[in-house]
Amino acid sequence: MTEHEDDDQQDARETLSHALATLRRKSGKSLSQLSEDTGYERSYLNRLENGKRLSKRLVMEDLDAFYDTDGLLVKLWKSARNSVIVDRFKLFMQYEDSAVIMYKYMVAIPGLLQTEDYARIVLSSAPGQWSEDDLEAQVTARMSRQEMLQRDHPPSLRVILDESALRRPTADAKIWECQLSHLIESAAQPSVVLQVLPLAAGVHDLMGGSLSLLWQSDGTGVAWLEGNKSGQLIEDPEEFARYRLSYDRLRDMALSPTESLDFIRNVMEGGRS
């Protein structure tokens, strides 16, 4: 992510908070009066105007109606919300970089275990998203993340890979075979454990997205839930513990590491035939 993009995200939140403060002052209302008129607590409205709190959409809809701003605040809120999502992903990346233990359930091959050619195909799959230079920058950034697995003391990584990820090959058979080979080679590293969750295992409560559990050296943990073009960072210890339990149950449903590598080899042989 570029410095310019960081500035744009900060501007989005500042623009929203500035608009809220400006509209209130122009209406001639104090925070206390606005609180009485709208039913929202004064301290809450103050945090919105200071940019310390991002509201729910309903609050912006109510304030749009109060100020008669024809949906302006909702539009500004959407931009600010998107910037928060990006910032949370950046925070997740920081947690990942400093993690000593990582558990992942993935419905797609994780970036940490992708080959460069495969990563390029995945990143270019969204039409018109990247220029050629930007695409190469994204590929380089993704590959650089894998350096953590080559450290003197790499994090302990366990990946449960959904079978569906292994049933979606690239158009280029050679690139796909290299990617599958890379999974097998990666699993040979002492710090990496790879398991396959077969479709035959049936339904489970993590369907529809991917989950990362990251433990820091002090024993604290965070979770990252990732869907299609969205992500949620979980830092609450009790909620993290619930996702840890879901992951443990999923691990019990998955093939053993040895069976999983045999499964991947069978997929490779099927692709050759």
| Residue-level pLDDT at 196 | 98
| Residue-level pLDDT at 86 | 65
The domains of the chain are located at 3-84, 99-272
- 116 residue type, one letter: E
- Stretch 23-37: mean pLDDT, rounded? 96
Q: Check pLDDT > 70 for residue 1.
A: no
pLDDT band at 273 (very low <50, low <70, confident <90, very high): low
Q: What is the largest CA-CA distance in the chain?
A: 75
CATH 2.60.40.420 is the classification of domain 3-84? no
- Stretch 148-155: mean pLDDT, rounded? 95
- Stretch 43-72: mean pLDDT, rounded? 91
| Residue-level pLDDT at 134 | 81
| Residue-level pLDDT at 152 | 94
- Stretch 203-222: mean pLDDT, rounded? 95
Q: Encode pLDDT of 156-178 as tens digits.
A: 999 999 999 999 999 999 999 99
Cα–Cα distance, 38 to 266 (Å, whole number): 63
Q: What is the mean pLDDT of the chain?
A: 90
Cα–Cα distance, 20 to 12 (Å, whole number): 13
Give the CATH number of domain 99-272. 3.30.870
Contact 179, 115 (CB under 8 A): yes
210 membership: H or E segment, kind and range? strand 210-215
| Residue-level pLDDT at 79 | 83
Would you say the CATH fold of 99-272 matches that of 3-84?
no
270 membership: H or E segment, kind and range? helix 257-272
| Residue-level pLDDT at 84 | 62
